[in-house]
Chains A and B, each alone.
Chain A
Amino acid sequence: MKVYKIIIINALLLWSFSLTAKEYKASLFGAVSDGITLNTGSIQYAIDYISENGGGRLVFYVGRYLTGSIQLKSNVVIELKEGAVLVAAPSIYDYDGPENRNALLWAEKQDSIGVVGKGVIEGQGTLVLESIKTQRKKGYLKENIGSLCPALIYMKGCNSITIEGINLREACGNVQFYNGCTLVSISNITTVSTSVENSQGILLSECDRVNLSDSFFDTSGKELSQAGASKNLSIVNNINKDGKKIR
């Protein structure tokens, strides 16, 4: 009996492991790493497909993948291998997000999602800002600049978020924003966002159980700031460019 149980448990474990770890290469969905093809459609289709088929990892290998806003869905983790760069589209019109808040990568009410790996998310903040300014000047956009500037990552009402290892660069707005999320784990990330004014590294609002550790921040705004009160925060071993500890 015991042997059977062990076999069954092992099989279940393996099965669940294979579920969570199923890997999909970005090229399967036609994502192109030339830096000029806008991959929004392919990446979004990939995320939807993986989420609807039991979850897994969408893996980007070396190359520059231009994209506009994409929406993360439950049980999908984006893995950026070393050398892979998600390049944010320069036009403001390629962005959207919940409640008119723009973000390159966003999610609303999703579970078990993340962005991991040693790759880069490049926000092209200067170019996006330029696009916003031009369009406002012409009168085609009315909203103020601050509310238009896309964050790199915006999660609203999500559970179990893993952000690990990645490089986050040059957001037009804030780099990361977590709003009403629980179980947020951010570790070993490097954030450099100085080309646009007041780009905050991480903005937390009404989150619960947030772990931020072993990360580096060089940002034009505050490295870590809080809007609504969050609880159960663990902020360990993070520094800014001057070597100051972040709390």
Chain B
Amino acid sequence: MINNRLFKLKMMGKPGVTLFAFLLFATIHVSAKDYLVTDFGAKADGITLNTRTIQRAIDYISENGGGRLVFDAGNYVTGTIYLKSNVTLHLKYGATILGSTNPFDYVSDPKIKWVAMIFAVNQNNIGITGRGTINGRGFITANNLVNYIHRGIFKDELKYDRPREWRRPQNVYFRECTNVTITDITLRDPASWNQTYDQCKNLYVDNIYVDSKSYWNNDGIDIVDCDGVVLKNSYFDAADDVLCFKSHDANSICQNVVVENCIGRSSANGLKFGTVSRGGFRNFKIKNITIFDTFRSAITFAAVDGGIIENIEVDSVRSINTGNVIFLRIGDRWSKGKKPSMKNIRISNVYAEVPIGKPDAGYNYEGPVEDNPRNISPASIVGLPDYKIQDVKLKNIEIVYPGAGNPLYAYRGTSPADLDSIPEMPARYPEFSQWKELPAWGFYVRHAEGIEFENVILRAQKKDYRPAIVMDDVKGGSFKEVIFTEPESEGKKQIIQHNTEGVTVY
């Protein structure tokens, strides 16, 4: 068709236009050129190990102007492959890339020092698209690796009776890549984290489906020290943190990030900054996320390794059946002299329900029962005496708690001595439950400056022995339209202030 038109144009005696049109066509054609992976001899039989064939196809396309490597419906087994510049893996509906279950079919990248099925290092204009699936079959691979470790032919300390995370294959690990597109695909069952984008620029993730609960440390997505990220319209079900932002490098930062319209379930946290938080996190706009049936917190921001967290806006959150709702924490774990900070955090339009039971009961790789005895933990904003959390605004928030805190089961009073006895635990792995029993059922705020609550409704469904809010070492702030509902609690003092100055309660 196009050739015919070009021909006609030429016949009309407009060689300039023709040439221009031809060049345009040529460039479009080059950038969109499709290659079938089966054309290179890959077999979609679910048995043949296609590693080398797929690699050759990627290399060929990258060396010949770029294009898409297309996988038609079928099952393609592979070990480690490296994606190269200007190549997109396009998985059509029904196409599945299956990870080999043999750990020796995977490579530990010499720079990254982690293992993955699909690596890309220092590449540009790459992607994985289409409605197909990447299935790591990680449970089998991880257990095969355990066997080799017990046989003595593979070295690993088997900490917690599992191979270390970096020795188990992830599905995808891209490092220092620019213009990365991940759309429409399904990612399943890695042996470690699912997909990591580390120090990438311009990462676009849209409409992906992640089912990632086959083995320990199965995160949903890890975005590490990236600059310019759009993550939207995606669904995550993961054994470990789902929407997970990290900062591995003290000299890098994860910044300029938009997250929109995502749904997540986790046996750990929903939206998480950290735990590794060396450089930090800056300029995030997160809008319209739903977290459900999640063991730990819907939102966890952890600055525990010397990194910063600033200019973070979270708008419109539904958090249903999650163990906690908001957990902001400064710690001092691997800071190595760097000063952690957290400031200018806006969280608005949140509706949340916290259950009395275990939110992830029945899932494989359930979160661990720990930090007992404690009654249902409150949301918390907890800095350190030397590192205060600054300028946090919570607006239009409704959290429904079960209440029913029983002082005979676990008790933390609100006397100055009781409150001062709560340990700081700066080096402890940050979890909302780390203090065991906390003295409030709704919010616990410690070592903070500039805390604003506006239109915050905290509901306890049963009477609780604790007050709704406890503040300790808070400097400045205001509580406007903060409403508590708790049965049989008329006249109860719901806000306790300790060592606190300049907080106005309207």
Contacts and interface: CB of A to CB of B under 8 A. Distances in A.
Interface in B58-72: 60
Contacts of A98: none
Contact of A140 (B40, B105, B151): B40
B104 interface: yes
Tell which of A37, A49, A93 has the most Cβ of chain B within 10 Å: A93
B102 A93 contact: no
A28 B149 CA distance: 11
B338 interface: no
A44 B107 CA distance: 12
A36 B153 contact: no
Interface string A42-56: 101100010000000
Interface string B101-116: 0101110000000000
A93 B47 CA distance: 17
Contacts of A30: 102, 104, 144, 148
B501 interface: no
Interface residues on chain B, size class: 20 to 34
Given A49-B153, A68-B52, A91 B104 contact: no
A23 to B, nearest CB: 14
B339 interface: no
A94 B41 CA distance: 11
B119 to A, nearest CB: 16
Contact of A41 (B47, B55, B102, B151): B102
Contacts of A37: 47, 49, 102
Given A28-B153, A91-B41, A38 B104 contact: no
Contacts of B41: 91-93, 131, 134-135
Contacts of A36: 47-48
B47 A94 contact: no
B56 interface: yes
Interface string A13-51: 000000000000000111000001110111011000100
A138 interface: yes
A140 B144 CA distance: 35
Given A38-B49, A140-B60, A93 B55 contact: yes
B280 interface: no
Contacts of B148: 29-30
B53 interface: yes
Given A28-B151, A28-B153, A41-B79, A93 B40 contact: yes
B85 interface: no
Contact of B104 (A41, A92, A94, A140): A41
Contacts of B60: 140
B100 interface: yes
B371 interface: no
Nearest to B41: A91
Interface in A48-102: 49, 68, 91-94
B39 interface: yes
A135 B177 CA distance: 30
Given A36-B47, A134-B41, A91 B53 contact: yes
B41 to A, nearest CB: 5
B104 A45 contact: yes
A69 B100 CA distance: 18
A138 B64 CA distance: 14
B104 A42 contact: yes
Contacts of B106: 41
A114 to B, nearest CB: 22
Contacts of B52: 68, 91, 93-94
A28 B105 CA distance: 15
Interface in A117-141: 131, 134-135, 138, 140
Contacts of A42: 102, 104
Nearest to B79: A41
B491 to A, nearest CB: 70
B102 A140 contact: no
B55 to A, nearest CB: 7
Nearest to B57: A140
B115 to A, nearest CB: 12
A112 to B, nearest CB: 21
A92 B42 CA distance: 11
Contacts of B49: 37-38, 40
B163 to A, nearest CB: 15
B56 A93 contact: yes
Interface string B457-470: 00000000000000
A29 B153 contact: yes
B104 A44 contact: yes
Contacts of A44: 104
B18 to A, nearest CB: 28
A44 B49 CA distance: 15
A161 to B, nearest CB: 26
A29 B39 CA distance: 32
Contact of A38 (B39, B40, B48, B153): B48
Interface string B238-261: 000000000000000000000000
B137 to A, nearest CB: 14
A29 B79 CA distance: 16
Nearest to A50: B153
B103 to A, nearest CB: 8
A42 B153 CA distance: 11
A131 B104 CA distance: 25
Interface in B138-184: 144, 148, 151, 153
The 5 closest A-B pairs by CB, nearest first: A41-B104, A38-B49, A41-B105, A45-B104, A93-B52
Given A30-B102, A93-B40, A134-B41, 11 more contacts: A30-B148, A37-B49, A38-B48, A40-B105, A41-B79, A44-B104, A68-B52, A91-B52, A91-B53, A93-B41, A140-B60
19 contacts: A28-B153, A29-B148, A29-B153, A30-B104, A30-B144, A36-B47, A40-B105, A41-B105, A45-B153, A49-B153, A91-B41, A91-B52, A92-B41, A93-B40, A93-B41, A94-B52, A138-B39, A140-B40, A140-B60
